[in-house]
Amino acid sequence: MTKDLEKQLEKKGVYFTHLVKELITTLVKAKRPLSIEEILAKFNRKKFNPHHSSLYRQLFRLSALDMVEESLFSDGIKRYCFIYERNHHHHFECNKCGYLENVPMKKCEDITIKVSKKLKKVGHTITSHSFTLKGLCSKCTCI
């Protein structure tokens, strides 16, 4: 965790508490979006047990600051990714087992810009986007 990030958070009114530090560290290390339960399980392994409402509050706050992205997947569970100062990415979701993985997709930016321009002509504005690529993971393909 960088001092720069800590300063950026404090400028925006978010104190760099133990919960914020653990939350960001956990999300940065994750190679896929994590649910609340998965985040809490990782915390529990470290003998850290924050109150659920505190965790939701910090996720909501970091999401409002465009540091954390919330995504809803086909299983109906919301999951979270740390997106601040990271390359934009999308997700792969296995149709069979639900495996999730972050997928960097710089080329999708070109598509987004083209679509945004077309929509702007008719008065619409895109404020964000999300793509989930679906298929079978390597494990399920071999079954």
Identify which of 6-15, 23-32, 33-42, 92-101 has the greatest average pLDDT: 33-42
Beta strand 68-72 pairing with 89-94: unpaired
pLDDT at residue 103 greater than cutoff 80: no
pLDDT at site 26: 94
The token duo for 91 is 């997700």
- Residue 116's SS3 state is helix
Residue 85 has pLDDT above 70, yes or no: no
- pTM of this prediction? 0.72
Predicted pLDDT at 102: 75
Angle ∠(123,124,127) on CA atoms, nearest 5: 145
* Three-point CA angle 92, 71, 54, nearest 5°: 135
Least confident of 22-26, 45-49, 67-71, 124-128: 124-128
pLDDT, residue 131, reads 73
Q: Is 104 helix (H, G, I), strand (E, B) or coil?
A: strand
Domains belonging to the chain, first-starting first, are: 1-86 (1.10.10.10), 87-143 (3.30.1490.190)
- pLDDT tens, 29-72? 988 899 999 999 999 999 999 998 999 999 999 988 888 888 88
